[in-house]
């Protein structure tokens, strides 16, 4: 029994992308001049109004996105504050080390 090779398999049933929009007008024959292919497309996106559910879904998505951005901003502010505090703590520790070094020099001399 030979194994099936997936590369040799073609899905022709699912390969109908955008074919439902093509309409044939007139008889198509090698000698006909009136046979044309035409795509039915809206002239612009305002010709087809979205349904109420689509509008609500987009509004909900926008609200969630804005909430996410707000939390991201809050998190970045918190991280920035933490970094600033750590920087000042490091500077304070460096200052303490310098003071101790200065005091130890005076004690020896």
- Hey, where are the domains in the chain? 9-108
3-state secondary structure of 38: strand
Q: What's residue 71's pLDDT?
A: 96
Q: What's residue 95's pLDDT?
A: 95
pTM of the model: 0.40
Q: What's residue 84's pLDDT?
A: 95
Question: What are the pLDDT tens digits along the chain (109 aa)?
Answer: 555 555 555 555 555 555 555 555 555 555 655 545 555 555 555 667 889 999 999 999 999 999 999 999 999 999 999 999 999 999 999 999 999 998 887 776 5
Q: How many residues does the chain have?
A: 109
Sign of CA dihedral 93, 96, 100, 106: positive
3-state secondary structure of 18: coil
């Amino acid at each position: 029994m030979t194994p099936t090779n997936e590369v040799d398999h073609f899905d022709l049933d699912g390969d109908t992308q955008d074919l439902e929009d093509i309409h044939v007008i007139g008889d198509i024959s090698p000698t006909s001049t009136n046979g044309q292919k035409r795509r039915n497309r809206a002239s612009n996106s305002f010709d087809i109004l979205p349904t109420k559910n689509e509008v609500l879904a987009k509004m909900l998505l926008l609200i969630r996105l804005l909430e996410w951005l707000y939390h991201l901003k809050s998190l970045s502010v918190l991280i920035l504050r933490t970094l600033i505090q750590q920087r000042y703590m490091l500077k304070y520790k460096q200052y303490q080390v310098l003071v101790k070094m200065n005091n130890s020099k005076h004690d020896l001399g």
